[in-house]
Structure 1
Amino acid sequence: MSEEALLSSLSTIASPQLWAITIVVLLALLAADFAITHRPHDVAMREAVGWSLFYLALPGAFGVLLWQVYGRKPAVEFYTGWVVEKSLSVDNLFVFMLLLAAFAVPAQLAQRVLLYGIVGALVLRAIFIAAGAAVLQTGTWAFLLFGAALLLTAAKVMRDAVRDEEYHVDIDSMRSVRLLRRMMPVTRDYHGGRLTVRLDGRRTLTPLALVVVAVFVTDLVFAVDSVPAVYGVTEDPYLVFATNAFALLGLRALYFVLRNALGKLRHLDYGLAVILAFIGVKLVLHWAHKVWPQVPDIPTELSLVVIALALTTVTVTSLVANRREAVRTPAPPSPR
């Protein structure tokens, strides 16, 4: 494949002005989110649902705008990429939930930790997106590399799901936490939303700082999988960034809506494994199509159908399994 053809395939719909507007809007949304969480408080369900609906309406409206201005193809690619990123972010939320529980984060500080995590995830994914675009410009072999990475990740996720291994967080075994504890002292108790305090004339970390670092490390792990996954849907760096941004912005509110329901999606990992494997195969076929045009290329519309079907299936099977378990579990005896 010629260098000119490859660069053409990586062209973006976004002008510098659109990039600037997008970043300004993103920073404004983050600033508004921080203003809300500046005063730590426990998030009520009504507040969480309201913000969740708002962050679901944003990508819906953005996709319509893309369709009107740039046509059907980028809009479908955006919606498909957003669904992929949103499904992966639910698994990310589950790990966040375990981290908050392991560090015994007070309920009123949970949304502050999540906001720090979202900002860190956006920064890390922006770096990975730029790196991914640079790698794709070096040649078609990058599609094969991304596809192989996703297939390996899918195999690991499926293996853990089949083994029915429970997620757990061992704080003392986390290298980032051990390193921070060696570098600076850590207080036993939380001090509101402060990351550091001065005790006995010495700057000291609070447990909140350890949680934030642990969340950042988790963000790094998820970015390694999520960015190649969405590059399997669209090669436009702007759309890749937009899908990640819209998927991450709603995480904080979605956490408080789903924190009691996440554990009930027992088959979610099966669905994520299927999605990652499908996109991995799609990337490998896309590489082969670039080299040998007679090899079929999976259309984005089919990708959207497969992803939606996988998520719907694991949601239904999880609900059925939960209902069967509830029927088999005897009710506790009533007190006399």
Structure 2
Amino acid sequence: MFTTVASPLTAAEPADPVISSIGTPTLWAATIGFVIALIALDFVLTRRPHEVSTREAAAWSAFYIALPLAFGAFVWARYGTEPGSEYLAGYVVEKSLSVDNLFVFMLLLAGFAVPAALQQRVLLYGIVGALLLRGVFIAVGAAALQAFAITFLVFGIVLIATAVKILRDAVQGHEQQVDVDRMRSVRLLRRFFPVTGEYQGPRMLTRENGRRALTPLAVVTFAVLGTDVVFAIDSVPAVYGITGDPYLVFATNAFALLGLRALYFLLNTALSKLVHLGYGLAAILGVIGVKLVLHWAHGVWPSVPTVPTMVSLALVVGILVLVTVTSLIATRDREEKSPAVR
């Protein structure tokens, strides 16, 4: 379906970026069909709005973690160590970035006062929109990387710039905030359509004073889809820093996104404890950005080294473990000191 470019972290000779892809038409069709089936199942399960329990969220989270790991084992056994390690590293990167996305989803749902019973439907719409947008970004990215070697440099600069912004916000202690009334997507929608003041179950359209109007559910869904564009700009170049195979890029994105709905409800309270996540994401994006720049430089000056995928995987996992441990320690110390402050 797509032409594959060599992995930016493992290619020995980037002068000729075309390599054989594991993404045969049959594998592409099977994977896309399986993803569509899972999405359809999610829509069936959420057709009747209900508040998600911790037990339900934990069960689905376990399923959506076991599934991509099993697929990774299949890739490793069927296609070898290099594709297997690239898939695993890409999945870990995408999953870590998706956790940061959950912060924004949490703020949007709170800002729009979405009823608990409707939250999973909003998340599901957001996941479908993200999959479609990233599919476009993956195709465009593959074509750009195939045609222009300097695309590696552009992707690297984008990731490094994003890493600097995230790090600056983390150092300055800026808390993520969303003013829904000032969001461009919300203002654009309200400019052309009237919006009702109350939710009406899972309905997005209704009639008010004899004319069609949007419900708040439609507005928050549109806002979530708007943020999907921003997320795709970071996540797709990031995983292209791990593997140049568009099939593996799609698979890592799809599996990371499919489990977001359940993960949101499982980590809804725990997310606030990851106070150092910003530092970790900045480090991860910075590392991958540097690797992309090095890959581009290696094509111009062959003496410039590149870094194996396993090294990148070790760095990403190590960073995530470190910031998780330091976050939990910082949160515990803050909670222990808070009674004395009161």
Q: TM-score, normalised by structure 2?
A: 0.94
Whether the 8 Å contact between 1:6 and 1:139 is mirrored in structure 2 is no
Give the drift of 1:321: 0.6
1:290, distance to aligned residue in structure 2 (A): 2.1
Q: Distance in 2 between matches of 1:124 and 1:185?
A: 27
What corresponds to 2:144 in structure 1?
A: 135
Superposition deviation, residue 171 in structure 1 = 1.2
1:292 Cα shift? Answer: 2.1
* Cα distance in structure 1, aligned partners of 2:98 and 2:136: 18
Percent identity of the aligned residues?
62
Cα distance, 1:106 vs. partner? 0.1
Distance in 2 separating the partners of 1:291 and 1:57:
41
The answer to whether the 8 A contact 2:159-2:289 is kept is yes
Consecutive aligned runs of 4 or more in structure 1 exceeding 4 Å deviation: 1-4
SS of alignment partner, residue 147 of structure 2: coil
The correspondence for 1:69, drawn from 50, 64, 78, is: 78
CA distance in 1, matches of 2:153, 2:178: 33
2:297 is matched with 288
Match of 1:24 among 26, 33, 51: 33
Cα distance, 1:331 vs. partner? 6.0
Cα deviation for residue 164 of structure 1 reads: 0.4
**Can you give the 5+ residue segments of structure 2 that lack an aligned partner in the other structure?**
1-11
Mapped contact 1:197–1:204 kept (Cα < 8 A): yes
Alpha-carbon distance between aligned partners in 2 of 1:235 and 1:329, rounded to the nearest angstrom: 48
Deviation at 1:143, TM superposition (A): 0.6
Q: What displacement does 1:276 show?
A: 0.2
Q: In the TM superposition, what are the counterparts of 1:54-203 in structure 2 within 5 Å?
A: 54-203=63-212
1:87 and 1:272 in contact (8 A); partners too? yes
Matched to 1:171, the amino acid is V
1:232 paired to 2:241: yes
Q: Note the alpha carbon deviations across 1:66-121, whole angstroms, 9 max, x for none.
A: 11211111010000000000000000011000000000000000000000000000
Pairwise CA RMSD of aligned residues? 1.5
Identify the residue that residue 312 of structure 2 maps to in structure 1: 303
Q: Give SS of 1:6's match.
A: coil
Aligned partner of 2:328 in structure 1 is: 319
Aligned partner letter, 2:256: A
Alpha-carbon offset, residue 199 of structure 1: 2.2
On the 8 A contact 2:22/2:247 being kept in 1, the answer is yes
CA distance in 1, matches of 2:23, 2:177: 41
Q: Give the secondary structure class of the aligned counterpart of 1:65.
A: helix
Distance 1:182 1:45 in 2: 39
Q: Which moved more, 1:256-265 or 1:290-299?
A: 290-299
Residue 270 (1) aligns with residue 279 (2): yes
Residues 215-268 of structure 1, C-alpha deviation per residue, up to 9 Å, x if partnerless? 011111010000000000000000000000000000000000000010110000
Q: 2:214 aligns with which of 200, 205, 218?
A: 205
Greater CA drift, 112-121 or 321-330: 321-330
CA distance in 2, matches of 1:236, 1:290: 18
Whether 1:7 and 2:21 are equivalent positions in the alignment is: no
Secondary structure, aligned partner of 2:114: coil
Say whether the 8 Å CA contact 2:14–2:299 is kept in structure 1. Answer: no
Partners of 2:14 and 2:111 in 1: how far apart?
50
Letter in 2 for 1:256: F
- Secondary structure, aligned partner of 2:18: helix
| Deviation, structure 1 residue 172 | 1.2
Q: Distance in 1 between matches of 2:277 and 2:283?
A: 10
Question: What letter is aligned with 2:55?
Answer: R
| Alignment counterpart, residue 260 of structure 1, candidates 257, 266, 269 | 269
Question: C-alpha distance in 2, partners of 1:311/1:332?
Answer: 31
Question: Does the Cα contact within 8 Å between 2:52 and 2:265 map onto a contact in 1?
Answer: yes
2:224 paired residue number? 215
What is the TM-score normalised by the length of structure 1? 0.96
| SS across alignment from 1:5 | coil
Q: Distance in 1 between the 2:257 and 2:188 partners?
A: 28
How many pairs does the alignment contain?
A: 331
Change (3 A) 1:304 1:3: closer
1:251 aligns with 2:251: no
8 Å Cα contact 2:15/2:299 also seen in 1: no
SS in structure 2 opposite 1:294?
A: coil
